[in-house]
Chain A
Amino acid sequence: MIPELGHFALALACVLALAQAVLPIVGAARRDPRWMGTAAPLAFGQLIAVGVAFGALLWAFAVNDTTVSNVVANSHSAKPLIYKFSGSWGNHEGSMVLWVLILSLCGAAVAAFGRDLPTALKARVIGVLGWVALGFLGFVIFTSNPFDRVWPPPADGRGLNPVLQDPGLAMHPPMLYLGYVGYAVTFAFAVAALLEGRVDAAWGRWVRPWALAAWCFLTLGIALGSWWAYYELGWGGYWFWDPVENSSLLPWLAGTALLHSAIVVEKRDALKIWTVLLALLAFTLSLLGTFLVRSGVLNSVHAFANDPTRGTVILVLLMVYVAGSFALFAWRAPKLAPTGIFAPISREGALVLNNLLLCSIAAVVLAGTLWPMFADILTGAKISVGPPFFNTATAPLAIPLVVAMPIGAMLPWKRGDVWAALQRLWWAAAAALVVGFLFLAALGYPVWPALGMAMAAWLIVGAAADIVDRIALFRRPAQAWQRARGLPRAAWGAALAHAGLGVTIAGIAGMGVATDTLVALKAGESTRLAGYEWRMEGLSDVTGPNFTARRATVTVLQDGQVVTVLTPERRTFQVDRQTTTEAAIHTNAMRDLYAVLGEERDGAGVLRLHHNPLAPWIWFGAVIMALGGGLSLSDRRMRVAAPAPKAATVPA
């Protein structure tokens, strides 16, 4: 009964979305306040309907209702409750329901908090969100019904892919979706602006919180995915330039560019056409990622579920949204002429440079991801593009971007002086040189990791220099505290986010000098790696809630002192006979000791041991970036202009 209720709620939401897609937009075109007034109630109604559907799905998973085929395929009564819940969105059908739920949440948030929005703009934004919701609800109902029944019901479910039974991964899709769907809102704002034929500073101010919130969640989502790959897949790596990873990085790059260009719209009333295009692009790339992952057109290690028939439907949706919005763009963009004047050496000039570089990186990543597929259909050539291409092609673009970041943040609006900015940054430059030299000469780092360390120092000290300069810490120390308190939170947020990128780069540079070894050890034997002694204490059997495992106990010693005891496991899940490796990781924030248990040979366990300097900094930096974004979101200016509802949401 409850699953039917969920199915009915989905159908109801679909009808409401149709109304939401038509009434407010027609109302805005006819300037009819009653029609425009339907936008908010329809958005709330849709949230309720989709919420009921999602609740029904959760309920089916929680009670392990084996008459629902989705539960049978993805759940099992022996699973811990949290993974029963995460199983509901860990599969294709459920994840699409979650997608629509977040979308309707955003629609309702625009309706509830956008009281200051001009009525027509608000009606159009909600209307465009209605179109997006309509497409995806139709997709769910007609091709991926999560409430399909099976009869007779099997005794129990077939379990969830054990690789996916993990807290990191339980949180990873909702985070990414919050990001992707956040870009649906900026997309809606862009389309509404095109319909209206007007983009002004106020528009930039309303778009920015959404771009910022989406960016924060996407940053966290990508970091979680990378962290999960690091500790769960047991390869010791954190980023593989896999097409699926790239497809989450692409909207992030476009979204980061959008975030910065929206500031120019707001402050200088310029870059309007470009900003609108970026808002369209960020969402396009989010949808492209969904298409690539779900349709099976690419060969990836991450493709868990795909189906060409669904791919066709997603492609049609993609083309309707993308071609529709780009056609509208080509037709209406000339109306959005810039009014501000532009000097190349200025804050806005630096932000344009930021945009150019970010978009170039995005273009390189996009080309590298799609080229093998297109080369195949165009010429029949079978080529593969791997990490060497991405590393060599993005580095020359990323380095100037990083070099320009602190300088750009120092330049004033309208008309700046690079030399003056550099003078205020001299100690950041000195710190970068010292750090680079120290790592190169004293610690014997290779060139690239040492360069990475210098870049990291440049960003972190540069961000500090920016704040010190703004509060005049050295020039007028007496009033520094006063000025620090008066400094807008957006300034603090920007500095924090820039420093966070520096922390991430330091982590990546540290991973550049990671060492590892493969050894077969019997109980009592030991090996040395990176100045540590790793002693195998023995192998044992352990039993978990739905798995059995083989566990190695490895004591790590330094100078005779026990540092930690690592217990890597190889787990076998009874239900589907899958085996996973559980890496054991000990971190002290400066380095990770990482052990993976492989096969066993003549009583000896094969261990892969890694020493990963600064590895945690990669994800810690991403958290700092997201915190910076959050701090910026809490800026009073944003709350006054357009309250940022998502800032208050606890990360799901």
Chain B
Amino acid sequence: MSESPTSPPQRSRRWMLYAPLGLAAAAGAGFWVMLRGLQTGEYDPRGVPSALLGKAPPDFDLPPLEGSDLPALAIADLRSPLPLPAPVLVNFWASWCVPCVIEHPQLMRLSREGVRVFGINYKDRPADAAAFLQRHGNPFAKLGRDEPGRVAIDWGLYGVPETYLIDRQGLIRWRYAGPVTPDVLDKDLRPLLRRYA
């Protein structure tokens, strides 16, 4: 009826009407894979199993945050002298990351309790990072700046915030992608800190 002589170009463009269906089907298949992966553990938006678990962290040497008197961070801080006096945390963060704000009070609490927290500032502007620490407080004993994000690639960073626990032998024991909430702190991190103390 409507495919009348007045609308010949319509016929050639009819495939476009199938585009929404195709896109929706592709998205649906993708979501299906994600849900399956959630149950088998292959897909996890929060905690990604790290290939580095039980291994020493890769080599790195990062510049300090200009304008702050925090010492810079390098692999030597995680290696020597072994054994380390206590397990340490390495936290990747950025001032532009909202979950980092949520996580920050927990890091502050840990640092006040004497846990050594090392920070790696990921893809951030120095002024923004300094302002963030100024505003929310500084939990980091040492802080390296990874502006190009290369160290993050070596560590297999999923996103920020992400936290690693390094035991006294200098091996990665735990990795958590996502904000360390009070819940994660009490249920996961504190028992681990006790175990590797």
Contact = CB atoms under 8 A, between A and B. Distances in A.
Interface stretch (B58-66, B68-76, B152-160, B167-175): B152-160
Contact of A374 (B21, B30, B35, B45): B30
Interface residues of B, number: 49
B33 A377 contact: yes
Interface in B9-51: 10, 14, 17-18, 20-21, 24-25, 27-28, 30-35, 37-39, 43, 45-46, 48
Contacts of B39: 308
Nearest to B20: A326
Given A297-B45, A308-B39, A327-B21, A516 B99 contact: no
Nearest to A387: B96
Given A235-B98, A301-B179, A311-B35, A334 B17 contact: yes
Given A312-B35, A382-B157, A606-B137, A330 B96 contact: no
A321 to B, nearest CB: 10
Interface string B145-184: 0000000000011111000000000000000011100000
Given A322-B28, A323-B28, A382-B159, A330 B17 contact: yes
A303 to B, nearest CB: 9
B182 to A, nearest CB: 8
A323 B108 contact: no
A267 B111 CA distance: 66
A335 B4 CA distance: 10
Interface string A607-623: 01000000000000000
A333 interface: yes
B43 A386 contact: no
A330 B28 contact: no
A312 B135 CA distance: 42
Contact of B18 (A284, A308, A330, A598): A330
B34 A297 contact: yes
Interface string A345-374: 000000000000000000000000010111
A334 B3 contact: yes
A412 interface: no
A374 to B, nearest CB: 5
Contacts of A200: none
Nearest to A288: B27
A337 B1 CA distance: 9
B80 interface: no
Contacts of B34: 297, 373, 377
Given A382-B48, A384-B159, A518 B136 contact: yes
Interface in A295-334: 295-299, 301, 308, 311-312, 315, 318-319, 322-323, 326-327, 329-330, 333-334
A277 interface: yes
A301 B102 CA distance: 9
Given A235-B101, A323-B25, A315 B159 contact: no
Interface in B61-98: 96-98
Given A323-B28, A326-B20, A327-B21, A297 B35 contact: yes
A377 B17 contact: no
Nearest to A242: B98
Interface in A378-399: 378, 382-384, 386-388
Contact of B2 (A277, A280, A327, A335): A335
A327 B22 CA distance: 9
A318 B28 contact: yes
B135 A329 contact: no
**Chain A at the B interface: SS class:** helix
A308 B179 CA distance: 21
Contacts of A235: 98, 101
A599 interface: yes
Contacts of B32: 315
A337 B7 contact: yes
A303 B10 CA distance: 44
A164 to B, nearest CB: 16
B25 to A, nearest CB: 6
A329 B17 contact: yes
Contacts of B1: 197, 335
B24 A322 contact: yes
B71 to A, nearest CB: 22
Given A337-B7, A382-B48, A608-B135, A297 B20 contact: no
Contacts of B136: 518
A460 B73 CA distance: 52
Nearest to A312: B35
A296 B45 contact: yes
Interface string A172-204: 000000000000000000000000010000000
Nearest to B178: A299
B20 A291 contact: no
Interface in B120-142: 134-137
A336 interface: yes
B137 A370 contact: no
B24 A284 contact: yes
Contact of A295 (B35, B46, B48): B35
Contacts of B158: 382, 384
Nearest to B133: A518
A323 B21 contact: yes
B28 A315 contact: yes
B31 A337 contact: no
Contacts of B159: 299, 372, 382-384
A422 B178 CA distance: 51
Contacts of A299: 45-46, 159, 177-178
Contacts of A378: 30
Interface of A: 197, 235, 237, 240, 242, 273, 277, 280-281, 284, 291, 295-299, 301, 308, 311-312, 315, 318-319, 322-323, 326-327, 329-330, 333-337, 370, 372-374, 376-378, 382-384, 386-388, 516-518, 598-599, 606, 608
Interface of B: 1-4, 6-7, 10, 14, 17-18, 20-21, 24-25, 27-28, 30-35, 37-39, 43, 45-46, 48, 96-99, 101-102, 105, 108, 134-137, 156-160, 177-179
Pick the 9 closest A-B CB pairs, nearest first: A337-B2, A384-B159, A299-B45, A382-B158, A326-B21, A308-B38, A518-B135, A330-B17, A330-B18
Given A297-B35, A327-B21, 11 more contacts: A235-B98, A299-B177, A311-B35, A311-B38, A315-B31, A323-B25, A326-B24, A336-B2, A382-B48, A382-B177, A383-B159
14 contacts: A240-B98, A280-B20, A297-B34, A299-B45, A311-B35, A315-B35, A326-B21, A334-B2, A370-B27, A372-B159, A376-B43, A377-B30, A384-B160, A386-B97
